[in-house]
Amino acid sequence: MASATDARYGQKESSDQNFDYMFKILIIGNSSVGKTSFLFRYADDSFTPAFVSTVGIDFKVKTIYRNDKRIKLQIWDTAGQERYRTITTAYYRGAMGFILMYDITNEESFNAVQDWSTQIKTYSWDNAQVLLVGNKCDMEDERVVSSERGRQLADHLGFEFFEASAKDNINVKQTFERLVDVICEKMSESLDTADPAVTGAKQGPQLTDQQAPPHQDCAC
Amino acid sequence: MAQQVSLGSLQESEREAILQVLYRDREVQNTEAERIRNLKTRLQHLRWKGAKSVSQEYKEKSCARCQQTLGLLLNRGAVCQGCSHRVCSECRVFLRRTRAWKCTVCFEDRNVKIKTGDWFFEERAKKFPTEGKHETAGAKLLQSYQKLSNKISVVPPTPPPLSESQCGGGPARLQELGQFKGFNKSVENLFLSVTTHMKKLSKSQNDMTSDKQHPEMVPRQREGRPERRSQSDTAINVTTRAGTPDILKPLGPESPRRPTSPVLKQEDISSSPVLNTSFSGGLRQGSLISINSTCTEMGNFDKADVTGEIEFAIRYCLRTHSLEICIRACKNLAFGEERKKKCNPYVKTYLLPDRSSQGKRKTGVQKNTVEPTFQETLKYQVELAQLASQQLQVSVWHLGVLTRRVFLGEVIVPLATWDFEDRESQSFRWYPLRAKAEKSEDSLPTNNGELAVRAKLVLPAGPRELQEAPEGTGDEPSQNGQLCLVVLGAKNLPVRSDGTLNSFVKGCLTLPDQQRLRLKSPVLKKQACPQWKHSFIFKGVTPSQLRQSSLELTIWDQATFGVNDRFLGGARLGLKEDLPGGAHTSSQAKLQWQKVLSSPNLWTDMTLILH
């Protein structure tokens, strides 16, 4: 098990300082909803169908170019299992943004979203940016959570919403980039209200822009 | 699948996996900390360059940043919203896609807040005001983990897969178990203790749905607990062997399924050269000699026979925060020039360990007398608390022709025990003058402050191999690793007269072949207790090489205007016997260094006394 983990996380992180700033992002959600796969798709563009439960916590580093800035993302992948909860919640405080994930083929994982959101409210800072992601949207045949329900819940909780598939690489990059953008917006807001300089192109309306398209690239 | 693995072994691999993640995170955090420090230094420089600050008055019509004179009609300047200074058009930065602007310093300030993530910490502080700024969850977990491993003086690597049915027996074994009870806590429990305060906040935690995919997880976990515990115990036994050879003996034969191999391994260990040096070397004491008793005039004076006495009083003025030495008189001084019966005495003082010229105070010179009367007060601006680590050196000198100086005697008063409240101790007293203490008689090593460092030997091998290394396969000389050293900070340094330093650290690793690897930290300006948090990484070194190497860390005060950098103090780390007459490693440092070398991939914190 350890060796499997080692192999997967074996690459060295880039330790160069060639970036403008660093964001810390946490991926949370029930066990087996696809958090690790989602991260691997994004960071390494790889996908393994085999399920290996994450031990406690893990992270990957990816530097992206966004709004004329090089942003280093330290993306924390957490174990969904209850037994690791004390470890994983310790990381909530350091995170600027969250990806809260459920599995569209798993009702229980969707029902737990409310609880996860409470966890964020409890452990994280007040302006924590959260994106709700319904993963495995490639498995339309086994879908039990409609995207409408997902969207409604997201609206209710005040999160933005995407449906995605780590396996088919649907909306993965978009999810992370959107999260980076909303964190940038929060950052500008906290530094000087009504100063959108840092976020660059993204102006106010983007926040409420429900067109932000979960289905745009999604065939399902 | 993961859950098929027996929980006992899962426990070990869990700990291993999580630790690996924590280490990787630490690397990232270290890099980040360095980047942030650089950013802040740059901002500081910019601030200094931009001359105007809020507190000072300036000529009305000039730019606060470049000092260019502003006109009445053209280039009148405008007030920056951030700092309320009037700046010229050149010193404004327009925020992107807006007409709003900030002056260069405010803009940079804002930039730094973005780049360092300070904006986030400020926001977060609104909800968690007590949270340390850059303290990450990972760092906290690691810290608590290391605290635990420190307590039991072993590193917790992976134990070899010993039999799970191993049960303790015999009083010695039981005692051992009791001794290392702390270790029995699984990683989870450890984490639990770290995060209990967080847990208090949420009761909803338990409401979370448990994992659907592993319904058997919970009961199995319970069953597995005693089994896991015994696994942890074996882990201790194995690692303990490396640390405390004495309690080894009853251990080996206790393992029922592996009666032979542990014994063999045990022998390997007790004959390991590493341990021997560690424990015999650790007892060396008393030979602490200062490596830096370079008195500024050391080589540059004559000696007379020392006779006579000096009368002075010491008091501390709380109002002005100054130490006052009232030099009244001397009697029976030796002649500075015996043949000519000539003596032009004066008195000089230092607050040791600072022997720099800034710490020097002198009286006037009295002409042609061996019974001079000075009636002068020499003052030091110094905090009372700081005096505890200092010694007052009062020396008498003869000033000859052509500024040739002759040493007439000295008095050294340790201030640590000096009662400044007591009247008696404030009154004038006669002190017999003494000759300069010979180096070897110098019982108190000069303490030039303390340096906090954190060191780790990084070996590329997987954790399992690491574990085996002290088990008997020995130190593979082929293991190419690197020595990571984080110079955290220093305190109680001999500061300049203004109470600050522009200090930096030099690291020099001398390999067995006398090859020297040198590294240097950036200069931290105007700080008495610098916190460099700078990493030195010595690459391509093997553990066996390091055992024969020595690492010297020296702290310097950067020179201004081309004068030589001032040496503030240094410390040496190494296991080898001290070079004759050279620098030495204190016994405590030696033990800590030993720990670094014997526990690869784990950070060891050390506080080094600077000499």
pLDDT reported for residue B296 = 36
Q: CB A115 to CB B204 under 8 A? A: yes
Distance, in Å, from the CA atom of B450 to the CA atom of B452, rounded to the nearest integer, reads 7
Q: Kindly state whether residues B99 and B126 are assigned to the same domain.
A: yes
Q: Kindly state whether residues B387 and B489 are assigned to the same domain.
A: no
pLDDT reported for residue A96 = 92
CATH topology of domain A19-190: Rossmann fold (3.40.50)
- Identify the band that residue B247 occupies on the pLDDT scale cut at 50, 70 and 90: very low
Q: Which of B93, B110, B132 is the last residue of a domain?
A: B132
Distance, in Å, from the CA atom of A195 to the CA atom of A204, rounded to the nearest integer, reads 10
pLDDT reported for residue B222 = 43
Between A163 and B287, the more confident residue is: A163
> What's the mean pLDDT in B386-410?
83
pTM as predicted: 0.44
A35 belongs to an annotated ligand binding site: yes
Greatest Cα pair distance, chain A, in angstroms, is 50
pLDDT reported for residue B474 = 43
Distance, in Å, from the CA atom of B263 to the CA atom of B261, rounded to the nearest integer, reads 5
Between B272 and A107, the more confident residue is: A107
Q: What is the mean pLDDT of chain B?
A: 67
> What's the mean pLDDT in A135-157?
94
> What's the mean pLDDT in B255-276?
39
Angle between helices A113-123 and B187-201 (to 10 degrees): 80
pLDDT reported for residue B446 = 59
Q: CB A126 to CB B123 under 8 A? A: yes
Q: Is the pLDDT of residue B343 over 80?
A: yes
Q: CB B210 to CB A82 under 8 A? A: yes
A 10 A CB-CB count for B87 gives 27
CA B362 to each of CA B352, B414, B450, B487: distance values in angstroms, whole numbers, following the listed order: 15, 19, 29, 37
- Per DSSP, B160 falls in state P
B32 in a domain, yes or no? Answer: no
Q: Kindly state whether residues B421 and B342 are assigned to the same domain.
A: yes
Per-residue model confidence as pLDDT tens digits over A178-210: 999 999 988 888 876 544 344 333 333 333 333
- Identify the band that residue A29 occupies on the pLDDT scale cut at 50, 70 and 90: very high
Q: Kindly state whether residues B525 and B606 are assigned to the same domain.
A: yes
Q: Would you say A98 and A121 are in contact if contact means Cβ atoms under 8 Å apart? A: no
Question: What pairs with residue B379 in β-bridges?
Answer: B324
Of A22, A84, A111, the CB nearest to B117: A22
Q: Is the pLDDT of residue B544 over 90?
A: no
pLDDT reported for residue B278 = 34
Q: Which of B98, B132, B166 is the last residue of a domain?
A: B132
Residues of A in contact with B205 (CB under 8 A): 85, 89, 119
- Identify the band that residue B120 occupies on the pLDDT scale cut at 50, 70 and 90: confident
Q: CB A196 to CB B136 under 8 A? A: no
A32 belongs to an annotated ligand binding site: yes
Q: What angle do CA A155, A97, A137 make, to 5 degrees?
A: 55
B40 in a domain, yes or no? Answer: no
A147 belongs to an annotated ligand binding site: no
Q: Is the pLDDT of residue A118 over 90?
A: yes
Q: Is the pLDDT of residue B530 over 80?
A: yes
Q: Kindly state whether residues B377 and B492 are assigned to the same domain.
A: no
Q: Is the pLDDT of residue B528 over 60?
A: yes
pLDDT reported for residue A85 = 86
Residue B120, Cβ density class (10 Å: 0-12 exposed, 13-18 middle, ≥19 buried): buried
Between B64 and B585, the more confident residue is: B64
- Identify the band that residue B428 occupies on the pLDDT scale cut at 50, 70 and 90: confident
Contacts 24+ apart (CB under 8 A), B42-51: B42/B108, B42/B112, B43/B108, B43/B109, B43/B112, B44/B525, B46/B104, B46/B105, B46/B108, B47/B105, B50/B103, B50/B104, B50/B105
- Identify the band that residue B279 occupies on the pLDDT scale cut at 50, 70 and 90: very low
Q: Kindly state whether residues B453 and B428 are assigned to the same domain.
A: no
pLDDT reported for residue A192 = 67
Query: Could you tell me which chain B residue has the CA closest to the CA of A87?
Result: B191
> What's the mean pLDDT in B183-195?
48
> What's the mean pLDDT in A162-180?
94
Residues of B in contact with A56 (CB under 8 A): 14, 17-18, 21, 187, 191
Q: Kindly state whether residues B412 and B455 are assigned to the same domain.
A: no
- Identify the band that residue A169 occupies on the pLDDT scale cut at 50, 70 and 90: very high
Per-residue model confidence as pLDDT tens digits over A127-138: 889 999 999 999
Residues of A in contact with B3 (CB under 8 A): 53
Helices (H), B56-215: 104-116, 118-127, 137-151, 171-179, 181-184, 187-201
Q: Kindly state whether residues B453 and B554 are assigned to the same domain.
A: yes
> What's the mean pLDDT in B337-355?
85
- Per DSSP, B437 falls in state P
The CATH number that applies at residue B421 is 2.60.40.150
B380 in a domain, yes or no? Answer: yes
**What number of helices (H) and strands (E) belong to chain A?**
7, 6
SS3 A19: coil
Q: Kindly state whether residues B416 and B564 are assigned to the same domain.
A: no
Question: What pairs with residue B350 in β-bridges?
Answer: B393
Q: Is the pLDDT of residue B111 over 70?
A: yes
Q: Which of A115, A209, A204, A217 is nearest to A174 (CA)?
A: A217
Distance, in Å, from the CA atom of A205 to the CA atom of A200, rounded to the nearest integer, reads 13
B84 in a domain, yes or no? Answer: yes
A 10 A CB-CB count for B208 gives 17
- Identify the band that residue B204 occupies on the pLDDT scale cut at 50, 70 and 90: very low
B504 in a domain, yes or no? Answer: yes
Per-residue model confidence as pLDDT tens digits over B553-590: 888 888 766 556 778 888 888 876 554 444 456 677 77
> What's the mean pLDDT in B141-159?
51
Q: What is the mean pLDDT of chain A?
A: 81
Of A6, A22, A191, the CB nearest to B113: A191
- Per DSSP, B61 falls in state T
> What's the mean pLDDT in B156-168?
39
Of B120, B141, B201, the CB nearest to A123: B201
B362 in a domain, yes or no? Answer: yes
Q: Which of A46, A22, A57 is nearest to A180 (CA)?
A: A22
A80 belongs to an annotated ligand binding site: yes
Between B196 and A6, the more confident residue is: B196
Residue A75 — φ and ψ, nearest 5°? -105, 115
Distance, in Å, from the CA atom of B249 to the CA atom of B236, rounded to the nearest integer, reads 14
The CATH number that applies at residue B95 is 3.30.40.10
Q: Is the pLDDT of residue B351 over 80?
A: yes
List, in order, residues 6 or more apart from B68 with CB less than 8 Å away: B62, B75, B88, B90
Q: CB A32 to CB B211 under 8 A? A: yes
Between B241 and B30, the more confident residue is: B30
SS3 B238: helix
Q: CB B212 to CB A108 under 8 A? A: yes
Q: Which of B545, B538, B546, B544 is nearest to B485 (CA)?
A: B538
Between A168 and B436, the more confident residue is: A168
Of A86, A91, A197, the CB nearest to B97: A197
List, in order, residues 6 or more apart from A110 with CB less than 8 Å away: A102, A103, A104, A134, A144, A145, A149, A150, A153
Instruction: Tell me the residue type at B479.
Output: Q
B329 in a domain, yes or no? Answer: yes
Q: Which of B274, B177, B197 is nearest to B471 (CA)?
A: B274
Residues of B in contact with A200 (CB under 8 A): 96-97
Phi-psi region of A83 (alpha: psi -120 to 50; beta: other; left: phi over 0): alpha
Q: Is the pLDDT of residue B178 over 70?
A: no
Share of residues in chain B with pLDDT > 90 (%): 3
Q: Which of B291, B270, B384 is nearest to B581 (CA)?
A: B291
Per-residue model confidence as pLDDT tens digits over B10-43: 477 777 788 888 888 888 888 888 888 888 777 7
The domain tally of chain B equals: 3
Q: Kindly state whether residues B399 and B486 are assigned to the same domain.
A: no
ipTM surpasses cut 0.85: no
Q: Is the pLDDT of residue B49 over 80?
A: no
B544 in a domain, yes or no? Answer: yes
- Identify the band that residue A173 occupies on the pLDDT scale cut at 50, 70 and 90: very high
Per-residue model confidence as pLDDT tens digits over B78-107: 888 777 788 888 888 887 667 778 888 888
Q: CB A59 to CB B21 under 8 A? A: yes
Range of the structural domain that residue B81 is part of? 63-132
- Identify the band that residue A120 occupies on the pLDDT scale cut at 50, 70 and 90: very high
A208 belongs to an annotated ligand binding site: no
pLDDT reported for residue A26 = 95
Distance, in Å, from the CA atom of B553 to the CA atom of B482, rounded to the nearest integer, reads 17
Between B309 and B185, the more confident residue is: B309
Q: Kindly state whether residues B493 and B598 are assigned to the same domain.
A: yes
Q: Which of A182-196, B206-220, B436-450 has the lowest mean pLDDT?
A: B206-220
Q: Is the pLDDT of residue A97 over 90?
A: yes
Q: Is the pLDDT of residue B76 over 70?
A: yes
A89 belongs to an annotated ligand binding site: no
Of A84, A87, A197, the CB nearest to B98: A197
Q: Would you say B183 and A103 are in contact if contact means Cβ atoms under 8 Å apart? A: no
Distance, in Å, from the CA atom of B421 to the CA atom of B569, rounded to the nearest integer, reads 31
Q: Kindly state whether residues B316 and B413 are assigned to the same domain.
A: yes
